[in-house]
Every structure is written in structure tokens, then in C-alpha cells.
Amino acid sequence: MKKNKKLKNNTKTNYDGIAKQLLDYLNDENIIRFINFVFSKNFSTDSNIVRLATETYDSDTKQKRCDYYIRIENEFFLIEFQSYDDTDMAMRIFEYGVRGARLHSKITDSRNRIVIQLPEPVVFFLRKDGKSPETLSVEINIPKQDRSFEYTAKAVYVEDFTFSELIQNYMFPVIPFHCMKFEKVLYYPHTEHDEKDILEEFEDNYKTLKEAFFASIIEKADFKYIVDAMVKVFEGVIKRAKMKNMLHNEKEAKKTMERIIDEPIEMFDIYKALADSRDEGRNEGWNEGHNEGWNEGRNKGRSERTKEMVDGMRKIGLSEEQIQAALKAAKEK
């Protein structure tokens, strides 16, 4: 389990940095579930996982960049985040793949040959425009051997998923970027009512995330990281809307973000809630003055709390199988 850390407070919205921090901080089980969904794998959540972030200098942008690689058992993955697709993206992914292979998988075999394993790549696009390819590919022709191979990255567009779908599929590292879809409204002429709808949807998304926490789909530390990142990205969207002189009510936007970021997380702990329900039932029973009342009060408290939990899990679209697994985990805890 990762230790509780605080996300860095960047003055600018560094999307790449936010995503990489989440990949660093989220617990191993959720990262494995994330990889399973994105790459259609079936790793056990107790599989051996190694995170291989590599800081390099990009001579084109003249900035440091952090390429993110993950190894699970014997398989190797490259995770990349981009705002938009561009004509050089496929070539850059190939370069990142070769760099990762050279740094993290290079071996020398018995015939003194250098052998590398290219990582399986995925690119998450945070925005979606008219050009939205499903894959990004580079074909490599090998001289004098009359053969070639293709290096292909899967393209995933955050905008294609509802907020609940991101949770259901354990896409926690990309959840904070869901709010970037609001740019299509906020960066252009719109009404105060449009802004009100966006603020309500953003807060509703936070409540949906909270329901996932109630259902023990997300642990406390991971919940904190995601909420912090959500607000950080949304704050960047609001600031740019203001710079474009398109924002009507900055005060309400700030209030919404403050309500979310300042809400005490301790009151949401699902296990504490279960313990409280037992205590409430016990107190009610003692007040009635006999063991039958104690049992009745205890069972009533448990039943009501469990019903609230199940309703919350159904609200975010969990299957009955997932609900039963969550209830079993809470009971065992």
C-alpha cells in the first residue's frame, strides 16, 4: 500500500504531471484493474507490479518530461497522456517505446545479442476534435530482410466515457480530466444558466465518486488524490475561461470547488459508518433495557446503513455481483 502523499501544488495546470502523480499514488490493486480494462488483460490484483517513471529532457519542447512505464509480471506497458492528436504523435510513441525498452528491458542473450521488449502502448487523449483515430501506428521496414513490423498504440478518448463509466472500469487516473469536456461550453459565448448546469454536473460527479467510496470501490487515500486532482483540473478550466473573458460567475465556481475540497473525508469512511451503525443499534437496545431490544436496534441500524450503501452502489451502475463483493469486503473488514 502506498503511503499517503499530498499532490503537488502546481501554479499551472500540468496535465501530464497530474496524471503521472495519480499513477504513482494510487494503490497497486486499482492500477492493476486499470491496466486490465485498458489493455483487455486479466491480471490478478495481487500480481507483481513495478512502476517505472523515467524523467527525460525533450529537446523539441525544451522541457523535462516523464514517460510512464508499468511492468506487471512479465508484461510491459507504456502510458501516455496528450491533449490532442497531432501528426507526429505516432512517431513520438514509437520513440518513447524504444526509450523505455532500452532503459527497462534491455538484456544480452547467450549469443551476445542485445534483446529488448517494447512496451504495449496506450495514449489517453484529454480532448477530442474532428480527427479521432482509434490507433496510432508506425511501420518499421527492416533492410535486407524483406520484412517489417508495426508498432501500434491504442487511442482512448476520455470524453467517450461518462463519469460513472470511468469509475465502473477503474479508470481512476483519468477521472480528473473528465471535466475538460466543459471547455467546449465555457471557452465560447454561453449563458449564466449554462455555467450553473456545469457547476451542478461537476458537483454531481463528485457525489458519484463519493458513492464509489461508500461502496469501498475506492480507498480513502485514493479518493483524496482523485478529488484533489479533479478540482485542480477544473480550476484550470475556470481560469482559462476567465482569461478569455467568457466567465459569468467566478464566485460561484470558486464556492463549488471550495465545498468539494473542504469537505471532511473522515465522515465518509465506510467502515466507520458500519461501526457507528452497530453502536447506534447497541445504544438503542440498552435504552430498551433488554437483550431483545439490543439485537433489534443493532439489526435495524445495520439494515438501514446497508440499504444506503446498496442504493449508492446501484446509483453509480455497479452490477449485483460487484455490490455483493463490496458488502462482503466491508463485512470482513
The strand pair at 135-142 and 147-157 is best described as antiparallel
Q: Do 99 and 230 lie in a common domain?
A: yes
Q: Do 260 and 295 lie in a common domain?
A: no
Tell me if 77 sits within 8 A of 120, measured CB to CB: yes
pLDDT tens for the 333 residues of the chain, in order: 444 444 444 435 688 888 888 999 999 999 999 999 999 999 999 999 999 866 665 565 555 556 789 999 989 999 999 887 777 889 999 999 988 888 887 777 777 788 888 999 999 999 988 778 899 999 988 887 788 889 999 999 999 999 999 999 999 999 999 999 999 999 999 999 999 999 999 999 999 999 999 888 888 889 999 999 999 999 999 999 999 999 999 999 999 999 998 887 655 554 445 544 554 544 444 445 444 544 555 455 556 656 766 776 676 667 777 777 777 666 655
Cell of 144: 535486407
Give the H/E segment covering residue 233.
helix 220-243
Residue 3 resides in a domain: no
Distance CA 167, CA 163 (A): 7
Tell me if 82 sits within 8 A of 126, measured CB to CB: yes
- pTM for the predicted model, two decimal places: 0.74
Q: Is 230 exposed, middle or buried (0-12, 13-18, 19+ CB in 10 A)?
A: buried
- At residue 308, the pLDDT reads 66
Residue after which a domain boundary falls, among 266, 285, 319: 266
Q: Which domain holds residue 155?
A: 15-180+187-266
Distance CA 128, CA 160 (A): 9
Tell me if 305 sits within 8 A of 280, measured CB to CB: no
Give the H/E segment covering residue 315.
helix 291-315
Grid-cell match 481560469, residue found: 239
- At residue 117, the pLDDT reads 87
Tell me if 305 sits within 8 A of 330, measured CB to CB: no
| Domains in the chain, number | 2
Nearest to 41 by CA among 145, 94, 133, 120: 120
Contacts of 191 (CB under 8 A, 6+ apart): 248
Q: Do 111 and 251 lie in a common domain?
A: yes
Q: Do 205 and 281 lie in a common domain?
A: no
Distance CA 23, CA 225 (A): 10
Q: Do 256 and 296 lie in a common domain?
A: no
Residue 4 resides in a domain: no
- At residue 214, the pLDDT reads 87
